[in-house]
Amino acid sequence: MLRKTLPSWTSQARLCRQMSVVAKSLKYTEHGEPQDVLKLVEDKLADPKDKQVLVKILAAPINPADINTIQGKYPVKPKFPAIAGNEFVGEVVCVGDQVKGLQPGAHVVPLASGLGTWTTHAVYTEDQLLAISSKVGLAEAATITVNPCTAYRMLKDFVQLSPGDTVIQNGANSAVGQAVHQLCRAWGINSVGIVRNRPEISELKQLLQGLGATAVLTEEEMRTSDLFKTGKLKRPQLALNCVGGKSATEVSRHLNDRGVMVTYGGMSREPVTVATGPLIFKDIAFRGFWMTRWSKENYSAPERKQMFQELCQLMEQEKFVAPTHEMVPLEKFKEAAAAALNFKGFTGKKFILDMSC
């Protein structure tokens, strides 16, 4: 009589369920500044069942949207008590009996937002997770679902770009800006970045050009540049705006006929305005983009799967790196949150909570 041998991962899952898992999580029960309302608490997690997956979180970034959500300034409102955070990379510890596509040891990232990711362990459902290669770096994987995806979709969905075309963007040193430069380099597109002047401007230009920027100019330099007038580069058909105000107006002036400006942020807190001439005589268009909305509307779409595959491939080939960042222990969340709010460096530095140890 043949003895049926269980797969090793099934044995691991059953062994896991005999262990108690205590999660350390950053929770809040009211809106306010992160350093004031976040509390590090411990909770014992139930064993995963059915289609549930127990995940050990390895790293989770602190994004502006996370801070705004805690402050109560973001369109997404969590139910209290809430665990902060939206992005992570984690490792599957064990799975429920009905889980088919994930095994212990697999690295995963979230497909849904608002899951609560500033925690050492969490239980999610299988359809909320996406398995990615463990060859993708920790920082790259932890930050893949927001900034790189935002850059990818804006470059893909508004204008049909071809190698040799030009994209122009302000806030070119932001995390999304850094992602845009790298994707443009991978796809043969010219990437022109506009940044505010600062004492470290030479170092900043060098860093962004190293990521793939074709040209980096200050706002003052852009006003007098002949980059497009002389034909050095094609006039851009696509502009990306995360600043608003005068910066957005100036960027829109450089668009080609029937060009499109896509706004995904408003750091200046000023409205987007357009010069009347370009609006009428060039017939330029203005659009908005919110990654959270796109992800919800395309949750299971093939285009989303293709996007993650392409981004992961670039990361594995080291053709796409994480934004400038600093890894910090979970226990130092107050310092990290305060630094994320007050950071004045010349790059869009991102703080990532490190729970990998």
What are the catalytic residues?
74
| C-alpha separations of 135 from 72, 258, 277 in Å | 36, 42, 50
Say if CB 290 and CB 263 are below 8 A apart.
no
Helix ranges (H only) for 121-244 are: 138-142, 147-157, 175-187, 201-211, 219-224
Three-state DSSP at 158 gives coil
User: Tokens at residue 39, please?
Assistant: 């509390």
Please work out, in degrees rounded to the nearest 5, the angle formed at the alpha carbon of residue 61 by the alpha carbons of 81 and 207.
155
Say if CB 198 and CB 346 are below 8 A apart.
yes
Please work out, in degrees rounded to the nearest 5, the angle formed at the alpha carbon of residue 198 by the alpha carbons of 33 and 60.
35
CA nearest to 239, candidates 155, 118, 300, 124: 155
Distance, in Å, from the CA atom of 293 to the CA atom of 76, rounded to the nearest integer, reads 11
CA nearest to 235, candidates 278, 269, 264: 278
Measured in whole angstroms, how far is the alpha carbon of residue 67 from the centre of its chain?
14
Please work out, in degrees rounded to the nearest 5, the angle formed at the alpha carbon of residue 43 by the alpha carbons of 39 and 46.
150
Say if CB 86 and CB 66 are below 8 A apart.
yes
- DSSP β-bridge partners for residue 62: 351
Distance, in Å, from the CA atom of 335 to the CA atom of 21, rounded to the nearest integer, reads 27
User: Tokens at residue 349, please?
Assistant: 């530095």
Sign of CA pseudo-dihedral 128, 90, 66, 175: negative
Say if CB 296 and CB 273 are below 8 A apart.
no
